[in-house]
A and B are shown apart, each in its own frame.
Chain A
Amino acid sequence: MKILVPVKRVVDYNVKVRVKPDASDVDLANVKMSMNPFDEIAVEEAVRLKEAGIATEVVAVSAGVANCQETLRTAMAIGADRGILIQTDVELQPLAVAKLLQAVCAKEQPQLVLCGKQAIDDDANQTGQMLAGLMGWPQATFASKLVVAGQQATVTREIDGGLETIEVVLPAVVSTDLRLNEPRYATLPNIMKAKRKPLETTTPAALGVDVAPRLKTLKAAEPPKRTAGIKVADAADLVLKLKTEAKVI
């Protein structure tokens, strides 16, 4: 069984982003970039399925600027077998990414696509569901447990109110939630080994996909900031202030 893992290069989760002075967009110049944390979880899960003898090959794919190669190398250092870069400088929106992945799926014929539930930059939480829709495949989003057996996957999903377990027929798209696993750290030997793994580069044009953005960002702004309030002395003081000043209890 082949597993395809889409990995996105995003602003590192420790970075607090700023808006450009002209308010046109987010300022991403010189900020630290990393693999989307949910995608690390997806790569880890795919590699574990390979180690368990269930998957035969793990292919990482990333769409975006040339530097997404680094993200693919990180995926290969965790254990992906090869990488595919769909190189473009166009701002990619989820529908475009889903169509690119659809084209890659048509070529690669994976039985399972394991992606992140959301990218922590744009927080769209769409790509996996869109891909599943385009392929006519079932989807199991927000997975906290995944069991693959034969032509089926059993997935426990984190939903409002608790957990839900569903069974989907393969091929399918599964998106990862935080508690699916704890990704390993890539070791130095594996980082070195990853440099020699195959990395193929293609383009949206070669895949025949129109990636023109559908949404136009008119403005990006920083939300009104909260300011620190006051320190209270003790529990009694706190209750008094909440009752008489804030009037919330």
Chain B
Amino acid sequence: MAILVIAEHDDSSIKAATLNAVTAATKLGGEVHLLVAGSNCAAAAAAAARISGVGKVLLADAPHYADQSPENVAALLVSIAGAYSHLLAAATTRGKNCMPRVAALLDVAQISEISGVESADTFVRPIYAGNVVATVQSADPVKVITVRATAFEAAGEGGSAAIESLPAGPDLGLSRLLGRELTKSERPELTAAKVIVSGGRGMANGENFHRLLEPLADKLGAALGASRAAVDAGFVPNDYQVGQTGKIVAPQLYIAVGISGAIQHLAGMKDSKIIVAINKDAEAPIFQVADYGLVADLFEVLPALQAELG
């Protein structure tokens, strides 16, 4: 049986995390199809067809998919699920919102945020803030899965899959989008960035983020992240939060500035290749996971770092 991956897109291009989900799908053994549901999203479908490893793209183009409401998208998925052994989506806020609803409607369990595929029915997933990895087996006829993007390589380009149009499912009319307030930034997306500069409560205020961390991030081509404490205090927007209950990241380089290293924060970044910690408290737990630790006042270190980077 074939495997269906639900693409996340903005009507014209495919989001990076979907590429990681495609790679997870190719490990299951079966032809991989990609569903693009949206409104006026033919360009996204064309982009989906170029992803390597994708055998077919299904395009469901209707006005009631414009908002990506989980009610309507889940209804569509349930209507086509019969042809598939697995349904996968990236564990983004969209995937996490929609997939459990699909699973419940199909009367099957969902396997959340898998970080490994052992076989077609056995998966590895982190629990307890990543302090434990569980290997779980599903006996359900259809496996509904969300994929932790950082655990799989991104699928490349070079495919040329056929695009097939699907009849739209029902419009349930249960919810309505009133508006979105998206953070505008020229910097790379947190979950796809190679380098992340992240600030905590030690930054003291939002102005310091702007004045001290942003120039550093710009020099390194880095994304900006934050601890929950920094978000709660209003220094930066909510979507900067890295951690168990925020974003999970695994860049080549993660620089934690004024962050103590609570387990909930570590859960979101401890798979980074190189971790740098800058903290004035030599006992801060962040140093236990840092490859390079600098015990110093961040207000002195950050300007010096900027100068060193030229």
Contacts and interface: CB of A to CB of B under 8 A. Distances in A.
Given A123-B129, A179-B231, A214-B140, A234 B180 contact: no
B111 interface: yes
A124 to B, nearest CB: 5
Interface stretch (B31-39, B198-206, B207-215, B291-299): B291-299
Contacts of A120: 128-129, 244-245, 264
A76 B97 CA distance: 29
Contacts of A236: 304, 308
B112 A162 contact: no
A66 interface: no
Interface residues of B, number: 88
A239 interface: yes
A130 to B, nearest CB: 4
Contacts of B231: 179
A209 interface: no
A7 interface: no
Interface in A206-249: 214-223, 226, 228-232, 234-236, 238-239, 241-242, 246, 248-249
Contacts of B247: 160
Interface in B89-117: 92-94, 96-105, 107-113
A124 B133 contact: no
A159 B237 CA distance: 11
Interface in B107-150: 107-113, 122, 126-140
B274 A242 contact: yes
Contacts of B270: 226
Given A120-B264, A160-B247, 12 more contacts: A13-B264, A17-B131, A95-B104, A98-B104, A132-B101, A139-B97, A177-B245, A220-B135, A221-B132, A221-B134, A223-B130, A248-B252
Interface of B: 67, 69-71, 74, 92-94, 96-105, 107-113, 122, 126-140, 174-183, 191, 195, 220, 228, 231-232, 237-239, 244-245, 247, 252-253, 263-264, 270, 273-276, 287-296, 301, 304-305, 307-309
21 contacts: A26-B132, A95-B108, A120-B128, A122-B128, A125-B112, A126-B112, A129-B98, A130-B101, A133-B102, A142-B97, A164-B177, A164-B179, A164-B181, A166-B178, A168-B175, A179-B238, A215-B137, A229-B293, A230-B292, A235-B305, A249-B253
Interface of A: 11, 13, 16-17, 19, 26, 38, 93-95, 98, 117-118, 120-134, 137-142, 144, 154, 157-169, 172, 177-179, 214-223, 226, 228-232, 234-236, 238-239, 241-242, 246, 248-249
